Amino acid sequence: MEKFDITKKDSLHKKYVVQRNELLYGKTTVFNVTDLKIFKLIISKVNSKNILFDDFYEIASDELKALNINEKHLYSITLDSLKKLANVYMKIDTNDLEGNGVIKEVGLIQNNFTFKKYSNKFYIAFHQDMKDYLLDIQEKYTRYPLADISSLKLKHSLKLYEYLKSISFEEIIISIEKLKKRLDINLNSYEKYAMFKIKVLDPVMQEINDRTSLNVQYEPIRDGKKIVKIKFKILKVPTKKENLIELEVPTYEDKFQKYLNQKFKHNDDVYEIIEIDKNLNVARVKNIDTGEIGKISAKNEIELIDKIEYMMNSDE
């Protein structure tokens, strides 16, 4: 299938979803893919550098249509989603002030949204709980173009897309148990890998590869006869502009040497940076427990340093 062209979504042009990873990893079991896409549309209206929300945010019918919401029932579908977003609290795994793990329930939007007749626009205000996840963002966050998820039809595709965008590796190994958690799948569902592959992995991979800017490959990892982990290899489709940027970047020899052989924690595993290839803009890392080799890859030296520094300063 031909790769989905996000440039065709003019009404979503230059709209980006910026959110802290804690919100991205929140439990969204009660929401469907339409609910989540509408929520991401509202988030794209927020300036993540601000310290206060605007009084309200405006979403228009042409934007909702661009998200591939049924035009015939656009108003009723949007209204139903907004009611659900306003009345359901999301559970988020986070830490308290002492660093202890806690589950926090947070409100998403306020229940006073309005729709002005003949304007084809909704006006929505965020719940104040969202300030911690959408405002004054400086670290541990994910940013992606809203148009990239506009044609996704499966909720699991959206959830996996966001997770893959939130990590800094181009190769990642994740246990099936943790993957189900990230996708909001009951741990007791699809107990046999064959069913998980047929019902979840294969259709989700096809959607992500056909309808977003990511190219993803995966392979199962066995422990004896049982498949217990999945290895994802993520390749972003390069643009001509990105290729040109590579010619303009300076070198960062001192910073590269600083991080060589340093260790960091990511997804409950400890990694060591064992090699940095400045020509390929790749940092190779080794899982201290398993010995498996992964990599942090970028389009230029500046981005590679940014990614390494993010991983070194992150306790995710």
Domains, in order of start, for the chain: 8-149 (1.10.10.10), 158-236 (1.10.10.10), 240-312 (2.30.30)
Q: How far apart are CA 140 and CA 48, in angstroms?
A: 13
Q: How far apart are CA 161 and CA 188, in angstroms?
A: 23
- Beta partners for residue 177, in sequence order: none
Among residues 145, 110, 111, the alpha carbon closest in space to that of 130 is found at 110
Residues written for the chain = 316
The reported pLDDT for the residue numbered 28 is 93
Please compute the mean of the pLDDT values over residues 129-147 and round it to a whole number: 93
Q: What is the pLDDT of residues 95-105, one digit of tens each?
A: 777 778 889 99
**With bands split at pLDDT 50, 70 and 90, how would you rate the model's confidence at 255?**
low
The reported pLDDT for the residue numbered 244 is 38
The reported pLDDT for the residue numbered 69 is 92
Give the tokens for residue 33: 């893919």
- Residues in Cβ contact with 14 at an 8 Å cutoff, skipping those fewer than 6 apart: none
pLDDT at 236 over 70: no
Per cent of the chain over pLDDT 90 is 59
**With bands split at pLDDT 50, 70 and 90, how would you rate the model's confidence at 2?**
very low
pLDDT at 74 over 50: yes
Name residue 151's amino acid. Answer: S
Q: What is the pLDDT of residues 21-61, one digit of tens each?
A: 999 999 999 999 999 999 999 999 999 999 999 999 999 99
Q: What is the pLDDT of residues 256-304, one digit of tens each?
A: 777 888 888 877 788 888 888 877 788 888 888 888 888 888 777 777 7
- Beta partners for residue 269, in sequence order: 266
Q: How far apart are CA 288 and CA 9, in angstroms?
A: 44
3-class SS of residue 5:
coil
Burial class, 181, CB count within 10 angstroms (exposed 0-12 / middle 13-18 / buried 19+): middle
